[in-house]
Amino acid sequence: MTSSPATDAAASLISDLIAHGVRDLVLSPGSRSQALALAAVAAAGRGVLRVHVRIDERVAGFTALGLSRETRVPTAVVCTSGTAVANLLPAVMEAFHSGVPMLLLTADRPPELRGVGANQATIQPGIFGPFVRAQLDAPVPGDGDWTGLASAAVATAMGGDAAHGLPGVAGPVHLNLPSREPLSSGSPVIDVDPGEAPRHGEGTPVVLESGPRTVVIAGADAGPRAEEIAHEGSWPLIAEIVSGARFGRRLVHGYRALLGETELGGRIERAVVLGHPTLSREVSRLLSRTDVDVVAVRHGGEDLNLNGRTRPAASVVVAPGEPDRDWLGAWLTASASLAIDLSERAPDADGLASTDVAARRDAVRAELAAVRRPLDRQLLADAVWRATWPHDRLVFGSSRLVRVADAVLGGKKVPVHANRGLAGIDGTIATATGIAVASQADGAHGVTRVLLGDLAFLHDVGALLLPPDETAPRLQVIVGNDGGGTIFDGLEVAASAPAADLDRAFYTPHAVQLEQLALAYGWEHHRVTTRSALDQVLTAPSGGRQLIEVPLPR
C-alpha cells in the first residue's frame, strides 16, 4: 500500500524529534492527527520513544509539562484540530512562565478549509500568542515538507535561539501541522537511533563580588544551584519550600519574620534571586525596594523586575573574596531561634517500665495521646516532608498547605516541583503524574508525592484516569480535605464580604466522596486522621497509585 504524504511527513518529523533527543510524547486521540499518532506508536514499538495517551488534552498538556519539568528535555504533545488545541493553553502558559521546554504538535485543516465553515476548523496559527518561544504554520505535506522543523523547534524550546530574545531560557514551541486526506495510510516507517539529550542554551554570567550585604533568594524551580551560590559567597539562604534549595548550613529558618525585622531585613544591600519567588509578601517587598541591588537569574518568559532596576542574568558566579562572617552569623543566630520542630517526643522509657502504678499510667496515657494525636495542617506537611527522600519527588499544589509548609518545614535536600509560574491550581495531578513517570523511568526507585487541597484535587480529577496498558507510576496524592477553599479565609475579602457570600463565591463548599472517586478510577484510597496512621501509609510499600485523604477543620 502506497503511503500518503501525511504519513511520510509525520514519520519524518517524529524520527527527527527522536534524533534530536526527544524521548517522551503525550498523545490525545483525534482524526486529523492520526498520522502523527501512528508514527508515535510505531516509534514506541521500536523502543525509541515513550508514548503516553490521555483522552483529555488539558490533562495531556500538564502531563507533558510534568515530564519536561523532571527531564528538562522537551516533551512533545500531539492533538487534533479545533478546541483540542485550546485545551493546551493552561499548560502552555505555565510552561512559558516557568521556563519549561515543550513541543506542541497540533494537527490542522489545510488552508483551503480554513475560514469557510469547515468542520472542526478554527484559527490555530498564533493561538498561543506570546506564550510560545516560536510558532510555525507548516506547509501541507505534498506542497512542502517538514524537514528541519524538529531541529529548530528543539533548539528554540531549550533556549538556544537568541533570535527570539531569550537565550538560555527554555519554553514551549508551537508547530501547527495541516494535512489533506488521506490523513494516513499503511504503517509509518520509523528508522532512527535516539540522539543525545539537548542542552540548554547559555548566556554570559554575572560575576558577584564580595562586599554588599547579600542574601540569596530561592524561589520555585531554583534547584540546588541556589544553595551552592549561598555556600560559595557565605551568604544567608532564603529558600522557599518549593525551591528545591531548602537545605545546607546557610539556610535561614523563619525568613518572613526576619525580613520584616529592621535589624536584619532592613540592612540588606543586595539580593541574588534564582527561580520564581511567590510564597511571601515579605520577599516581594524586599525585591521591590529601590535601595536593594537585585540580581535575578532569568527563569521564565518574563524578567523579574519588581523594583524597576533589577539586573537580569543568564547565570551568576561568585568571585573569590573575604566573606562577611558577621553578616552571615547574625542571620544564622536569628534563624536558630525560629526553627520549628514538630517531631514527637521520645517515649518515656523509665515511666513505661516503672513499678509505680501512677507513673506507668501517666507514661501510657502520654503514649496513647501521641498515637491518637489528630492531624492539623502543620503535622500533615511535616509528615509528608519527613517521609520524602532524595530518590523521591515531592509536588506541592497551589493550596493553603504549601504556605503552611513554607512556614514550618526545615531543611532537607529533596527534589521539589510546583506549578508556581502562575501559582494556579490547574493541572496539579497531571503534572505530578508526568514527574512520577519520568523520574521512575528505566526502573528507577522512589515515590512521587503530591500534597494539595481538596479544590485543587477536584479541579484536576480527570488526571486520575490512566490507560490500562501503561504502567501505573508510584504516586501518592495526599489531599488535605477541609471541604472548600480555606485559603480565602486569610485574604482581604474575608474581612469585608458577608459570611454567606464568602462561602458561596470563594470557599465553595462541597460534599464530594473522595473514596468513591478513587474507586471509580482504580486508585487505592486511605482516609487517615492521626499522625501515626499517616506515617504508616506514607512509608508502607506500595506499587501503584494511592489517594490519601486527610480531613482537616476549616
Q: Concatenated DSSP letters for 304-372?
A: --TTS-PEEES-EEEPP----HHHHHHHHHHHHTT----PPPPP-HHHHT-S-HHHHHHHHHHHHHHHT
Q: How far apart are CA 505 and CA 493, in angstroms?
A: 11
* pLDDT for position 345: 64
User: pLDDT tens, 175-195?
Assistant: 999 999 998 887 788 888 899
Give Cα separations from 298 to 206, 317, 346 (angstroms). Answer: 11, 14, 46
| Stronger pLDDT, 204 or 45, i.e. the higher one | 45
Would you call 545 exposed, middle or buried from its count of C-beta atoms within 10 A (0-12, 13-18, 19+)?
Answer: buried
Amino acid type, 409 = L
User: pLDDT tens, 424-433?
Assistant: 999 999 999 9
* pLDDT for position 423: 92
Nearest residue to 17 (alpha-carbon basis) of 166, 158, 140, 125? 158
* Contact present, 374 and 530 (Cβ < 8 Å): yes
Residue pointed to by grid coordinates 465553595: 508
* pLDDT for position 127: 97
Measured between its terminal Cα atoms, the distance across the chain in Å is 64
Whether 105 shows a pLDDT value over 60: the answer reads: yes
* Contact present, 105 and 176 (Cβ < 8 Å): no
User: pLDDT tens, 138-186?
Assistant: 999 999 989 999 999 999 999 876 455 567 789 999 999 999 999 888 7
* pLDDT for position 331: 97
Helix (H) / strand (E) containing 150: helix 149-157
Nearest residue to 13 (alpha-carbon basis) of 171, 109, 144? 144
* pLDDT for position 333: 96
User: pLDDT tens, 217-248?
Assistant: 999 999 999 999 999 999 999 999 999 999 99
The dihedral of CA 255, 261, 264, 269: what is its sign?
A: positive
Mean pLDDT of 9-19: 96
The DSSP-derived string for 455-515 is HHHHHTGGGG---TTSPPP-EEEEEEE-SS-GGGGGSTHHHHS-HHHHIIIII------HH
Q: How far apart are CA 216 and CA 224, in angstroms?
A: 12
- Cα atoms found within 13 Å of the Cα of residue 395, Cβ hemisphere only: 32
Percent above pLDDT 90 for the chain: 76
Q: How far apart are CA 506 and CA 455, in angstroms?
A: 11
Percent above pLDDT 70 for the chain: 95
Nearest residue to 434 (alpha-carbon basis) of 63, 20, 14? 63
* pLDDT for position 371: 64
Whether 414 shows a pLDDT value over 90: the answer reads: yes
547 Cβ contact partners less than 8 Å away, ≥ 6 residues apart? 464, 477, 479, 514, 517, 518, 523, 524, 525, 526
| Stronger pLDDT, 303 or 3, i.e. the higher one | 303
pLDDT band at 123 (very low <50, low <70, confident <90, very high): very high
Mean pLDDT of 87-111: 97
Whether 102 shows a pLDDT value over 90: the answer reads: yes
Mean pLDDT of 485-507: 78
* pLDDT for position 339: 92
Residue pointed to by grid coordinates 478554527: 122
pLDDT band at 137 (very low <50, low <70, confident <90, very high): very high
Q: 3-state SS of 6-23?
A: HHHHHHHHHHHHHHCCCC
* Contact present, 221 and 66 (Cβ < 8 Å): no
**What DSSP character marks residue 114?**
S
Q: How far apart are CA 329 and CA 467, in angstroms?
A: 54
**What DSSP character marks residue 155?**
H
C-beta neighbour count of 199 within 10 angstroms: 13
Delineate the domains of the chain, giving CATH numbers in brackets.
Answer: 5-178 (3.40.50.970), 206-336 (3.40.50.1220), 377-551 (3.40.50.970)
Q: Cell numbers at residue 507, please? A: 470557599
pLDDT band at 370 (very low <50, low <70, confident <90, very high): low
* pLDDT for position 343: 73
Mean pLDDT, the chain, as a whole number? 92
